[in-house]
């Protein structure tokens, strides 16, 4: 089967938001380092594009892959490098935070998590940090081939249930770059985001109301409580958080990422 985003080509690396290209719509990929983000982008595009981002000096830049017609997949710097000195981390975090909160063409955020270690503290901070934008999140639980089918589905249900409390509008699926599972399903979500008419400027940080834009497919689970079922052949769950729920706890700062 042909990879869904096979027209993608490396476009540019960006060290400051002002350098970002003119864009009509883009999907960003974030995740802890080593969770399989590069492999997921490569599986979606059928190319070894994301190797580019691993070349020295580019790991802390935002990498743009062009899909044509001013549409892009955007590879964000991996987070969770505890040993990176603060002097290097600060501009990188500013870039990441500025991008996530300020990039108008951003249609949604894919967060890549290792299915064996989902929803780490940093992932939770990322979700909370992104939530006020009102843009959708799609979680790829990568390396699903490392778990049995049943164990994978158990994790999927647990993550879906927890996400309901953490994100305003999110979906989650199992993914394996190694076995090429979940690729079409993920592409379906991202293509729907890209095809949607412009959602307008990002919401101001601190907006109390979380918007839940239209459906992107998959099964829907109404939070709280897990009421959906995974139908045969489905790797995805989708849920919506209640619109009026108050967020608890402090708001994470980009420096937590």
What does the binding site for ligand GDP look like in residue numbers (CB under 6 A)? 31, 33-39, 78, 142-143, 145-146, 176-178
Judged by beta carbon, residue 23 or residue 177, the one nearer ligand GDP is 177
Distance of closest approach, residue 124 Cβ to ligand GDP, in angstroms: 18
Distance of closest approach, residue 61 Cβ to ligand GDP, in angstroms: 14
Distance of closest approach, residue 208 Cβ to ligand GDP, in angstroms: 33
Distance of closest approach, residue 140 Cβ to ligand GDP, in angstroms: 9
Judged by beta carbon, residue 146 or residue 215, the one nearer ligand GDP is 146
Judged by beta carbon, residue 63 or residue 216, the one nearer ligand GDP is 63
Which contacts (CB < 8 Å, 24+ apart) does range 158-163 have? Answer: 158/118, 159/113, 159/118, 159/119, 160/221, 160/226, 160/228, 160/237, 160/238, 160/239, 161/221, 161/223, 161/225, 161/226, 161/239, 162/119, 163/119, 163/127, 163/137, 163/139, 163/239
Distance of closest approach, residue 212 Cβ to ligand GDP, in angstroms: 28
Judged by beta carbon, residue 72 or residue 239, the one nearer ligand GDP is 72
Q: At what angle do helices 121-130 and 86-102 cross, to 10 degrees?
A: 40
CB 168, CB 244: distance < 8 Å: no
Judged by beta carbon, residue 13 or residue 38, the one nearer ligand GDP is 38
The full DSSP string for 200-237 is: -SPPPTT-SPPP-----SS-EEESSS----PPTT--EE
């Amino acid at each position: 089967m042909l990879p869904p985003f096979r027209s993608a080509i490396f476009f540019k690396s960006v060290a400051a938001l002002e350098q970002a290209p003119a864009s009509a719509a883009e999907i960003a990929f974030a995740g802890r380092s080593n969770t399989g983000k590069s492999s997921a982008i490569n599986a979606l595009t059928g190319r070894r594009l994301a190797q580019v981002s691993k070349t020295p000096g580019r790991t802390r830049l935002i990498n743009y892959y062009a899909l044509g017609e001013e549409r892009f997949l955007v590879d964000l710097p991996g987070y969770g490098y505890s040993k990176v000195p603060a002097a290097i981390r600060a501009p990188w975090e500013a870039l990441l935070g500025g991008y996530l909160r300020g990039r108008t063409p951003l249609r949604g955020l894919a967060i890549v998590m290792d299915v064996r270690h989902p929803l780490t503290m940093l992932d939770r901070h990322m979700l909370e940090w992104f939530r006020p934008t009102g843009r959708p999140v799609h979680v790829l639980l990568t390396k699903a081939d490392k778990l049995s089918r049943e164990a994978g589905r158990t994790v999927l249900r647990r993550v879906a249930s927890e996400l309901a409390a953490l994100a305003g509008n999110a979906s989650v699926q199992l993914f394996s770059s190694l076995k090429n599972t979940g690729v079409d399903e993920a592409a379906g979500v991202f293509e729907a985001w890209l095809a949607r008419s412009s959602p307008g400027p990002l919401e101001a940080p601190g907006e109390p109301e979380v918007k839940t834009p239209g459906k992107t497919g998959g099964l829907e689970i109404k939070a709280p409580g897990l009421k959906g079922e995974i139908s045969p052949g489905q790797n995805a769950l989708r849920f919506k958080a209640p619109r009026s729920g108050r967020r608890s706890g402090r708001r994470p700062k980009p420096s937590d990422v």
